[in-house]
């Protein structure tokens, strides 16, 4: 077992190196500042593509977290570049919050306040503060937290409204993307608010913030995790009435470790064990989306049972962490095997061995999903680098050894 885990750790070291090298080589926009908004599978840059706040916030988080792990100066420099660009161009200086998109020159495009985007900016800024101890980053993170609490929090039933106008008024189109339902509340936004709040708590252990984290965890336990199936419910109205019938296997396995991590960060009496028990059940629910090849299918529609037979990059990355977390919680070899099999699936089918980084995904016949981004509004170095970083932290041999990448 020790030999197996050392090998797993070493492969994660190598893959993290590979991912970060790609982003350092291809994504930096030397002409217009920051990072390119879009690169295709063949590494062709679309220089005038819009730049997304989620992409830039995830770059900020990734290089900050990588620096916090290995202290490589180039990673901190890249994180600093992302911080300067976000604070200069994405932060709305007049109304607060962040823009959803800007153009390649830095001019505001889509100015609506998508709370998901605020959460990711908060997440990245908190991680950057750990790396840099730059008080400006910490203050921006606290400001974004306050904007989420003061503008988006739904006081009657709890939780957070999806989106608002630039000046924080109600908005007709609340959707995060074209494929999403136009509903007041979503699992996805709540998951990443929780993730962001928990990361902020590590640098700012505020009592009200702790209460908000505990409340979010209970929202998952009471409303978002289906009590019968243990799959996540994706969309709700403001009263937490269910408004979707789709299973997202990737979000299941991502939540299986993220909600537990948040509970462990705040260390609220009795909550950790309660969440850990539920996390195991959510991981077991996610297993229903596994194919025989170790890959995780994208989504399943209920009640028809129609399976969307695509395997996107990010659910595979989350499966590596989520199933390893379940192994840590239970000691069951089967969970460790699923984590490893997820990585072996990625290695065989998702890695773009010719041009670097990971493909968006593959179809049922194992053909690559062409026309999708290598770098884009949604294709970022977050899920895959985070999977490597999490496993490097979690595999026992790493704890007592200096990791040299």
CB 75 within 8 A of CB 16: no
Global confidence as pTM: 0.96
| Tens of pLDDT, residue by residue, the chain (405 residues) | 889 999 999 999 999 999 999 999 999 999 999 999 999 999 999 999 999 999 999 999 999 999 999 999 999 999 999 999 999 999 999 999 999 999 999 999 999 999 999 999 999 999 999 999 999 999 999 999 999 999 999 999 999 999 999 999 999 999 999 889 999 999 999 999 999 999 999 999 999 999 999 999 999 999 999 999 999 999 999 999 999 999 999 999 999 999 999 999 999 889 999 999 999 999 999 999 999 999 999 999 998 999 999 999 999 999 999 999 999 999 999 999 999 999 999 999 999 999 999 999 999 999 999 899 999 999 999 999 999 999 999 997 544 544 444
Domain annotation for the chain: domains and CATH numbers: 2-397 (1.50.10.10)
272 phi, psi to nearest 5 deg? -60, -50
pLDDT at position 397 is: 56
Structure confidence at residue 176 (pLDDT): 92
Question: What pLDDT sits at residue 282?
Answer: 98
pLDDT at 396: 74
Please give the pLDDT value at position 403. 46
pLDDT at 1: 87
Residue in the structure block whose two tokens are 């990448």: 405
User: Quick one: pLDDT at residue 227?
Assistant: 97
Q: What are phi and psi of 207, to 5 degrees?
A: -65, -40
Cα torsion 332, 338, 343, 344: sign:
positive
What is the pLDDT, as a whole number, of residue 112?
97
Question: CB–CB of 387/9 below 8 Å?
Answer: no
């Amino acid at each position: 077992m020790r030999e197996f885990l050392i090998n797993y750790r070493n492969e994660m070291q190598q893959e993290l190196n590979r991912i970060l090298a790609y982003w350092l080589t291809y994504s930096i926009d030397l002409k217009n500042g920051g990072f390119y908004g879009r690169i295709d599978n063949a590494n062709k840059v679309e220089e005038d593509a819009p730049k997304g706040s989620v992409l830039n916030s995830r770059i900020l988080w990734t290089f900050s977290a990588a620096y916090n792990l290995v202290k490589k100066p180039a990673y901190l420099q890249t994180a600093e570049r992302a911080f300067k660009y976000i604070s200069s161009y994405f932060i709305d200086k007049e109304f607060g919050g962040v823009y959803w998109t800007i153009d390649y020159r830095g001019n505001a495009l889509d100015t609506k306040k998508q709370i998901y985007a605020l959460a990711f900016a908060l997440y990245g800024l908190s991680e950057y503060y750990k790396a840099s101890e730059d008080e400006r980053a910490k203050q921006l993170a606290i400001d974004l937290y306050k904007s989420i609490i003061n503008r988006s929090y739904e006081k009657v039933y709890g939780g957070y409204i999806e989106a608002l106008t630039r000046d924080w008024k109600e908005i007709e189109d609340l959707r995060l993307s074209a494929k999403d339902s136009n509903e007041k509340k979503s699992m996805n936004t709540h998951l990443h608010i929780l993730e962001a709040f928990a990361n902020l708590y590590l640098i700012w252990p505020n009592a009200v913030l702790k209460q908000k984290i505990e409340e979010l965890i209970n929202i998952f336990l009471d409303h978002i995790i289906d009590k019968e199936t243990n799959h996540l419910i994706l969309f709700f109205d403001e009263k937490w009435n269910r408004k979707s019938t789709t299973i997202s296997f990737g979000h299941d396995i991502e939540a299986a470790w993220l909600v537990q991590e948040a509970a462990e960060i705040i260390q609220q009496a009795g909550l950790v064990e309660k969440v850990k028990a539920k996390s195991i059940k959510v991981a077991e629910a996610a297993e229903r989306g596994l194919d025989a090849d170790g890959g995780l299918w994208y989504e399943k529609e209920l009640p028809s049972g129609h399976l969307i037979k695509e395997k996107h990059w990010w659910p595979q990355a989350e499966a590596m962490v989520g199933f390893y977390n379940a192994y840590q919680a239970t000691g069951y070899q089967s969970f460790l095997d699923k984590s490893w099999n997820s990585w072996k699936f990625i290695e065989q089918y998702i890695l773009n061995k010719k041009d670097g980084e990971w493909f968006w995904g593959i179809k049922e016949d194992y053909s690559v999903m062409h026309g999708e981004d290598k770098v884009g509004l949604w294709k970022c170095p977050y899920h895959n680098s985070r999977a490597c970083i999490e496993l490097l932290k979690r595999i026992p041999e790493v704890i007592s050894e200096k990791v040299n990448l």
